[in-house]
Amino acid sequence: MIFTVAIDGPAAAGKGTISRAVAARFGFAHLDTGALYRAVGVKGGDPIAVARSLNATDLAHPGLRSLEAGQAASRVAVIPEVRAALLDFQRSFARQPGGAVLDGRDIGTVICPEAEVKLFITARPEIRAHRRWLEVGGDAAQVLTEVKERDARDMSRADAPLKPATDAIRIDTSDLSSEQAIAAAIAEIDRRLNTTG
Protein backbone atom coordinates (compact mmCIF):
# COMPACT_ATOMS: atom_id res chain seq x y z
CA MET A 1 0.00 0.00 0.00
CA ILE A 2 1.24 3.47 -0.89
CA PHE A 3 -0.23 6.03 1.49
CA THR A 4 1.35 9.39 2.24
CA VAL A 5 0.61 11.59 5.24
CA ALA A 6 1.90 15.16 4.78
CA ILE A 7 2.22 17.13 8.01
CA ASP A 8 3.17 20.80 7.81
CA GLY A 9 3.35 23.66 10.25
CA PRO A 10 5.61 26.20 11.92
CA ALA A 11 8.35 25.48 14.44
CA ALA A 12 7.30 23.95 17.79
CA ALA A 13 3.65 23.49 16.82
CA GLY A 14 3.86 19.77 17.62
CA LYS A 15 4.17 18.31 14.14
CA GLY A 16 7.22 16.21 15.03
CA THR A 17 5.52 14.66 18.05
CA ILE A 18 2.36 14.00 16.04
CA SER A 19 4.30 12.62 13.06
CA ARG A 20 6.29 10.15 15.13
CA ALA A 21 3.14 8.97 16.95
CA VAL A 22 1.20 8.60 13.68
CA ALA A 23 4.04 6.64 12.07
CA ALA A 24 4.22 4.31 15.08
CA ARG A 25 0.44 3.87 15.22
CA PHE A 26 0.07 2.92 11.54
CA GLY A 27 3.48 1.31 10.96
CA PHE A 28 4.47 3.97 8.42
CA ALA A 29 8.02 5.13 7.72
CA HIS A 30 8.74 8.62 9.08
CA LEU A 31 10.87 11.47 7.74
CA ASP A 32 11.42 14.75 9.55
CA THR A 33 12.26 16.77 6.46
CA GLY A 34 13.44 19.65 8.62
CA ALA A 35 16.33 17.41 9.67
CA LEU A 36 17.54 17.47 6.05
CA TYR A 37 17.74 21.26 6.10
CA ARG A 38 19.15 21.31 9.63
CA ALA A 39 21.88 18.91 8.54
CA VAL A 40 22.75 21.10 5.55
CA GLY A 41 22.84 24.20 7.75
CA VAL A 42 24.89 22.60 10.53
CA LYS A 43 27.44 21.01 8.21
CA GLY A 44 28.54 24.40 6.89
CA GLY A 45 30.37 25.11 3.67
CA ASP A 46 28.56 25.50 0.37
CA PRO A 47 24.93 24.59 1.20
CA ILE A 48 24.13 23.52 -2.37
CA ALA A 49 27.06 21.10 -2.51
CA VAL A 50 26.21 19.82 0.98
CA ALA A 51 22.55 19.23 0.00
CA ARG A 52 23.61 17.29 -3.09
CA SER A 53 25.90 15.01 -1.05
CA LEU A 54 23.77 14.61 2.10
CA ASN A 55 23.68 11.10 3.57
CA ALA A 56 22.12 9.24 6.50
CA THR A 57 25.17 9.88 8.71
CA ASP A 58 24.57 13.63 8.42
CA LEU A 59 21.05 13.14 9.82
CA ALA A 60 22.50 11.62 13.00
CA HIS A 61 24.37 14.82 13.98
CA PRO A 62 23.77 15.39 17.72
CA GLY A 63 23.13 19.13 17.36
CA LEU A 64 20.26 18.98 14.87
CA ARG A 65 17.59 19.84 17.47
CA SER A 66 19.33 23.00 18.72
CA LEU A 67 17.91 26.48 18.21
CA GLU A 68 21.01 27.35 16.16
CA ALA A 69 20.41 24.41 13.84
CA GLY A 70 16.81 25.53 13.35
CA GLN A 71 17.94 29.02 12.42
CA ALA A 72 20.57 27.59 10.05
CA ALA A 73 17.92 25.37 8.45
CA SER A 74 15.66 28.34 7.86
CA ARG A 75 18.50 30.25 6.18
CA VAL A 76 19.50 27.45 3.78
CA ALA A 77 15.87 26.51 3.04
CA VAL A 78 15.39 29.78 1.13
CA ILE A 79 17.99 28.66 -1.46
CA PRO A 80 16.11 27.15 -4.44
CA GLU A 81 19.05 24.89 -5.41
CA VAL A 82 19.13 23.38 -1.91
CA ARG A 83 15.40 22.67 -2.05
CA ALA A 84 15.73 21.12 -5.51
CA ALA A 85 18.61 18.89 -4.38
CA LEU A 86 16.49 17.46 -1.54
CA LEU A 87 13.21 17.18 -3.50
CA ASP A 88 13.68 13.78 -5.15
CA PHE A 89 14.83 12.15 -1.92
CA GLN A 90 11.70 13.33 -0.12
CA ARG A 91 9.32 12.34 -2.91
CA SER A 92 10.70 8.83 -3.27
CA PHE A 93 10.54 8.39 0.52
CA ALA A 94 6.91 9.54 0.51
CA ARG A 95 5.73 7.00 -2.07
CA GLN A 96 7.46 3.93 -0.68
CA PRO A 97 5.32 0.83 -0.16
CA GLY A 98 3.94 0.47 3.36
CA GLY A 99 3.04 4.12 3.89
CA ALA A 100 5.03 7.17 4.94
CA VAL A 101 4.66 10.24 7.12
CA LEU A 102 6.66 13.34 6.22
CA ASP A 103 6.68 16.47 8.33
CA GLY A 104 8.00 19.86 7.34
CA ARG A 105 6.83 23.15 5.93
CA ASP A 106 5.98 22.46 2.29
CA ILE A 107 5.07 18.76 2.21
CA GLY A 108 1.40 19.18 1.30
CA THR A 109 1.95 22.12 -1.04
CA VAL A 110 5.18 21.23 -2.91
CA ILE A 111 6.75 17.89 -2.00
CA CYS A 112 3.62 15.69 -1.93
CA PRO A 113 0.61 17.58 -3.28
CA GLU A 114 -0.93 14.15 -4.03
CA ALA A 115 -0.67 12.98 -0.39
CA GLU A 116 -3.69 11.02 0.79
CA VAL A 117 -3.83 13.03 4.04
CA LYS A 118 -2.59 16.58 4.57
CA LEU A 119 -2.47 18.07 8.05
CA PHE A 120 -1.43 21.58 9.02
CA ILE A 121 -0.36 21.71 12.66
CA THR A 122 -0.24 25.15 14.22
CA ALA A 123 -0.29 26.98 17.55
CA ARG A 124 -0.03 30.56 18.76
CA PRO A 125 3.53 31.96 18.57
CA GLU A 126 3.73 32.48 22.35
CA ILE A 127 2.78 28.85 22.96
CA ARG A 128 5.31 27.59 20.42
CA ALA A 129 8.06 29.81 21.85
CA HIS A 130 7.37 28.48 25.35
CA ARG A 131 7.57 24.90 24.08
CA ARG A 132 10.84 25.62 22.30
CA TRP A 133 12.20 27.35 25.42
CA LEU A 134 11.38 24.25 27.50
CA GLU A 135 13.28 22.18 24.93
CA VAL A 136 16.39 24.32 24.45
CA GLY A 137 16.43 26.79 27.36
CA GLY A 138 17.98 30.23 27.13
CA ASP A 139 16.24 33.58 27.35
CA ALA A 140 12.47 33.16 26.91
CA ALA A 141 11.98 36.57 25.29
CA GLN A 142 14.79 35.88 22.82
CA VAL A 143 13.27 32.49 21.94
CA LEU A 144 9.93 34.20 21.17
CA THR A 145 11.72 36.76 18.98
CA GLU A 146 13.51 33.97 17.11
CA VAL A 147 10.30 31.98 16.63
CA LYS A 148 8.60 35.05 15.13
CA GLU A 149 11.62 35.80 12.92
CA ARG A 150 11.65 32.23 11.67
CA ASP A 151 7.89 32.32 10.97
CA ALA A 152 8.34 35.51 8.95
CA ARG A 153 11.25 34.03 6.99
CA ASP A 154 9.48 30.71 6.34
CA MET A 155 6.17 32.32 5.34
CA SER A 156 7.64 35.00 3.10
CA ARG A 157 10.27 33.04 1.17
CA ALA A 158 9.77 33.07 -2.59
CA ASP A 159 10.30 29.35 -3.03
CA ALA A 160 7.79 27.04 -1.27
CA PRO A 161 6.62 29.34 1.52
CA LEU A 162 5.08 27.87 4.66
CA LYS A 163 1.31 27.80 4.20
CA PRO A 164 -1.43 25.21 4.54
CA ALA A 165 -2.42 23.27 1.42
CA THR A 166 -5.92 24.25 0.31
CA ASP A 167 -7.20 20.79 1.25
CA ALA A 168 -5.22 20.42 4.50
CA ILE A 169 -6.97 19.72 7.80
CA ARG A 170 -5.87 22.34 10.34
CA ILE A 171 -5.16 21.24 13.90
CA ASP A 172 -4.41 24.03 16.38
CA THR A 173 -2.49 22.53 19.29
CA SER A 174 -2.39 25.71 21.40
CA ASP A 175 -4.88 24.39 23.94
CA LEU A 176 -4.46 20.64 23.33
CA SER A 177 -2.36 18.13 25.19
CA SER A 178 -0.01 16.11 23.01
CA GLU A 179 -2.34 13.13 23.46
CA GLN A 180 -5.34 15.14 22.23
CA ALA A 181 -3.41 16.48 19.24
CA ILE A 182 -2.21 12.98 18.30
CA ALA A 183 -5.75 11.61 18.65
CA ALA A 184 -7.09 14.31 16.32
CA ALA A 185 -4.48 13.47 13.69
CA ILE A 186 -5.08 9.72 13.99
CA ALA A 187 -8.83 10.24 13.61
CA GLU A 188 -8.30 12.08 10.31
CA ILE A 189 -5.99 9.38 8.98
CA ASP A 190 -8.36 6.60 10.09
CA ARG A 191 -11.20 8.37 8.32
CA ARG A 192 -9.22 8.60 5.09
CA LEU A 193 -7.99 5.00 5.31
CA ASN A 194 -11.58 3.81 5.81
CA THR A 195 -12.83 5.74 2.79
CA THR A 196 -10.02 4.56 0.48
CA GLY A 197 -10.31 0.98 1.67
pLDDT at 1: 86
Q: pLDDT digit string (tens) for 136-182?
A: 888 999 999 999 998 888 888 877 788 999 999 999 999 999 999 99
Would you list the DSSP string of 18-77?
HHHHHHHHHT-EEEEHHHHHHHHHHH-S-HHHHHHT--GGGGG-TTTTSHHHHHHHHHHT
Rounded average pLDDT over 3-14: 95
Rounded to whole angstroms, how far apart are CA atoms 16 and 154? 17
Q: Is 35 annotated as a binding residue?
A: no
Would you list the DSSP string of 129-144?
HHHHHHHH-S-HHHHH
Q: Is 12 annotated as a binding residue?
A: yes
Cα 15 versus chain centre, distance: 6
Q: What residues does each domain of the chain span?
A: 4-196
pLDDT at 70: 85
Half-sphere exposure of 47 (CA within 13 A, CB side): 21
Query: What kind and span of H or E run contains 90?
Result: helix 80-94
pLDDT at 58: 86
Q: Is 108 annotated as a binding residue?
A: no
Reference 168, options 194, 147, 193, 192; nearest CA is 192
Over 90: is that where the pLDDT of 28 sits?
yes
Q: Is 24 annotated as a binding residue?
A: no
Higher pLDDT, 176 or 69: 176
Rounded to whole angstroms, how far apart are CA atoms 24 and 111? 22
Over 80: is that where the pLDDT of 197 sits?
no
Average pLDDT, the chain: 92
Rounded average pLDDT over 110-133: 95
Rounded average pLDDT over 51-57: 86
Judge contact between 5 and 96, C-beta under 8 A.
no
Cα 13 versus chain centre, distance: 10
Over 80: is that where the pLDDT of 56 sits?
no
Q: Is 13 annotated as a binding residue?
A: yes
Q: pLDDT digit string (tens) for 89-121?
A: 899 899 999 999 999 989 999 999 999 999 999
With bands split at pLDDT 50, 70 and 90, how would you rate the model's confidence at 59?
A: confident
The CATH T-level fold of domain 4-196 is Rossmann fold (3.40.50)
Q: Is 44 annotated as a binding residue?
A: no
Residues in CB range of 109: below 8 A, 6 or more apart: 8, 160, 163, 164, 165
pLDDT at 61: 84
With bands split at pLDDT 50, 70 and 90, how would you rate the model's confidence at 66?
A: confident
Q: Is 11 annotated as a binding residue?
A: yes
